[in-house]
Structures are given as C-alpha cells and as structure tokens.
Structure 1
Amino acid sequence: MRLLSMPSSGNSYKVRLLLALLKRPCEIVDVEYKTEALEGARSAGRLPFGKAPVLELDDGRLLPESNAILCWLGEGTAFVPADPVLRAEMLGWMFWEQNQHEGTVAVRGALMFYPSRRVLATPERMAELLERGHAHLQIIEDRLAGGRDWLVGDAPSLADICLYGYTHTAGSRGGFDMARFPAIGRWLDRITALPGYKGLDA
C-alpha cells in the first residue's frame, strides 16, 4: 500500500497513526500543502477529491477521505466494535468530527499554522472559531468526564483515533485553552500510551 500524506495535516496523521498502531506496512509519500509534490499528485489524478490523504491499495485502487480510510483499515480489528450499536456510535463521532469539530478546531489551527492562510485570520473570525471550538471540545470533555476511558465502549476505537488527530494539537496550534478540559488531557495521554503509537512528526 501507499499513503499520499500531508505531513502537517491532522487528517493525514490519523491514518498514519492507525497504520502504526496496527503495524501495517505502508509506503508514505509526502504531499505537503503548497508543494510541487501535492500539485503533481493532483495533476496525475492520484487525489480523487483533490486533497490528501489518499490510500493507494496494492491493486492500484485509490481510497480518499481520512475517515473512510480509517474504516477500511479498521475492518476486522479491535478498533471497530463488534456490537452494531457501538459501531454506529463510533461512526457518529467520526461524522461529527468532520462536520463540526474539524470546522473549528482544525480550521483555527490552520489559520495560525500556515503562513499563506494568516491573511484570513481576522480577529472576528478567530474569536468566533475560538468560542465554537471550545464548545466542541466541551462535548468531548463531557463524554469523557464521567469516568469513561474511551469515546465508545471500553476500548479505543476509530472514534478515538479520528478525534485525536486535531484535538491533540488544539492548544499548541489553535490556541485553545486545554486546561479547561482535564478529561481530554487524560484521554490524550491514554492514546499516547497505546502500543505502537507514533506522534505527528514521527
């Protein structure tokens, strides 16, 4: 397999993280934002939706979208609950991550991290993203604050891997006040302690 991966992206990172946790061999091809490698992959038709990550299977088929890739990689593993209700809950968190969480936590981080996007970081927009992002982080905090170790069931699932991607840099990149979310902090530590864990820059 070959993963076209944007090194700085949380969406690409969560796929690399699951690959590491599953000990699945995969060639990683860097296609960083605003580089010739990314534009070359686009022009070659290797990015079906125009963005990374994309997983190229051994037979040449291309799987775009980070959470779709997670579901394919997770099939038949302990990261996908056997119980159908828990599986549906896991997918609910994954849909919410892309539909809500990423639109605030990841977007604010991107506006601060990528120099080319800083022109879009108006004080009004950054304040709005901060407020909405804190509200989204509070949803995760509330889920974990009642003594839960993981978002779904009693073991780590794709929901945890998915939401870890941008949550673990919410403070350092996005300027969110993570001291407000102690349960999230403990959850991040549990993911870091998983066997095979690799960080964003690994």
Structure 2
Amino acid sequence: MEIINQRIILFFENNFVRYCILDLNLPYILHHNLYMENLHLYDFLPSGNGYKVRLLLTQMGIPFERTEVNILKGESRTPEFLSKNSNGRIPVLEVAPGKYLAESNAILLYLSEYTEFLPYDRYLKAQVMQWLFFEQYSHEPYIATSRFWVSILGKVEEYRTALEEKREPGYAALKVMENHLKCHNFFVDERYTIADIALFAYTHVADEGGFDLTPFPAIQAWIDRVKAQPGYINITHEPQLCYDY
C-alpha cells in the first residue's frame, strides 16, 4: 500500500493496482482500478453463480477473459479443471497466474473490497455477509436447484418428487426476502451491494424452476431496481473483453 495524499491510497493487489479515493462524507470508498493483467473467469453461461461474478465485474468496469466450462459435458471434472478447483464447481476466478478463487460469494467479496459494492462500516459489511450466507443456505439449495432440474436439465418428471420437496423451503426464503424488501429498497444500507447481486442471480429467474413471484410484489419491485442499475447485463449476456483505460 502506498499513500499518495490524505485522500488517495494505492493498493497493490495481485494482478492489478487499485487506487481508492477516500471521502469521509460517504459510507464507502470510491474506487478506480488500473489493471496490469486480465482476470480470467471460468464459468457456465446459464449458471446463476457464474452470473453473479459476470454482473459485478461488468458493473465495476473490470476487463476479464472468460472460458466456458460446460458442466453438462463433465468439463468441470477434468484433471485440468480440478487443478484449478478440486471441488469441481464453477465459477472459478483466476486472480493472478496460477492463483484461483472458487465459490461465487467469496469471489464477490474479493472483488468488491474497498468499493461501493461492499460497505466499509464493520456492521454493514457483516450484514452483507449475513445475506450472502442466507443465499447459500436458505435460498440457493431450493430456488437454484429447482431451476437447474427444470430449465437446464429439462427433467421435470424425473425430479418431480424432489421438486415438490423444494417448494416449501423455497417459498419460505422468498417470504423472508419479501418481508425485508417491504421496508427497504435494497438489502443493506438502502443501496445496491453484492448482497443484492447474490440474491438477484437466482431470484429473478425463479420462475424457471417453477416458483411464482406474483405473490411477492416487493421482490418484483426490487428486481426492477436491480435491472435499472448502471452496467446491468442479463444472465445470458456474454461480456466481451475490453479495456476502459
């Protein structure tokens, strides 16, 4: 780290230099990034977990290379891929040559540090993490898994009993979100953060797994707010490598 003056700090981090503009009147740190090398994302385009990372990178204006890993063809189970993530799952982000980070929400935290997408305040940051844990434990196992079986594998009949078992806990998670969003525009600090990105990824396509969002008007309004954020891309959009400096 190098302090340029009282308002600008340079962070030398892996494959890029990040400089932060501090403003004590703001609850977060404004940022800009100067990149020395590209980040490399390995993911599967229909994946909501991969979409989380693609969306954040695009909204931050971070250039990255992307390799499609077709999990339906077993490409995440090859020796080459397992050398990047021994758990055999996507997404995986190469943050420096030979240095890999897996788990979508861990990647979100890594990328958003010192930016407006993750609060600087300790309590607010913990609230973001609270929703990230909620997404992984109470939301994704039901909403995301149902979508995978129904819309990606197309095996509704084969998984019919399992899908029925997913309904109650899936709707319970949506009810938790609905109750929170009745009183808040976003999940933390009334502003758009990675908590919203994490929960948006599978919620906005919940219907593809058989979940009806009609009874959840607050969620529907929040989905519209997320889609209105600068740099928004849809889940099937494949970003092109580009540089903005």
**Shorter-chain TM band:** over 0.9
Deviations 1:64-105 (A, max 9, x none): 100000000001110101211111011010011111101111
Partner of 2:146: 108
Structure 1 pair 137/41, CA: closer, same or farther in 2 (3 Å)? farther
The one-letter code sitting in structure 1 at the alignment partner of 2:224 is D
Deviations 1:152-201 (A, max 9, x none): 10211111001011101001x11111001111111111111111111101
Moved more, 108-117 or 175-184: 108-117
Determine if the alignment matches structure 1 residue 201 to structure 2 residue 201.
Answer: no
How far apart in 2 are the matches of 1:45 and 1:193?
38
Partner of 1:144: 181
Deviation at 1:120, TM superposition (A): 4.5
Question: Percent identical across equivalent pairs?
Answer: 37
Alignment of structure 1 residues 12-91 onto 2, 5 Å: 12-35=50-73, 37-40=75-78, 42=80, 45-91=83-129
Aligned-partner SS, 1:107 = helix
Are the counterparts in 1 of residues 186 and 196 from structure 2 also a CA contact under 8 Å?
yes
The one-letter code sitting in structure 2 at the alignment partner of 1:104 is Y
Report the structure number with the largest CA radius of gyration: 2
How far apart in 1 are the matches of 2:113 and 2:169?
33
Are the counterparts in 1 of residues 135 and 199 from structure 2 also a CA contact under 8 Å?
yes
Higher helix proportion, which one?
Answer: 1
The one-letter code sitting in structure 2 at the alignment partner of 1:188 is I
2:204 to 137, 153, 168: 168
Partner of 1:134: 171
How far apart in 2 are the matches of 1:72 and 1:26?
15
Spell out structure 1 runs of 4+ moving beyond 2 A.
35-44, 114-120
Structure 1 pair 128/41, CA: closer, same or farther in 2 (3 Å)? same
Determine if the alignment matches structure 1 residue 159 to structure 2 residue 195.
Answer: yes
Structure 1 pair 104/36, CA: closer, same or farther in 2 (3 Å)? closer
Are the counterparts in 1 of residues 117 and 194 from structure 2 also a CA contact under 8 Å?
yes
How far apart in 1 are the matches of 2:123 and 2:74?
44
How far apart in 2 are the matches of 1:89 and 1:48?
30
Are the counterparts in 1 of residues 75 and 81 from structure 2 also a CA contact under 8 Å?
no
How far apart in 2 are the matches of 1:37 and 1:102?
22
How far apart in 2 are the matches of 1:96 and 1:13?
18
| CA RMSD after TM alignment | 1.7
Deviation at 1:47, TM superposition (A): 2.3
How far apart in 2 are the matches of 1:129 and 1:43?
30
Q: Which runs of 5+ in 1 are unaligned?
A: none
Q: Which runs of 5+ in 2 are unaligned?
A: 1-38, 238-245
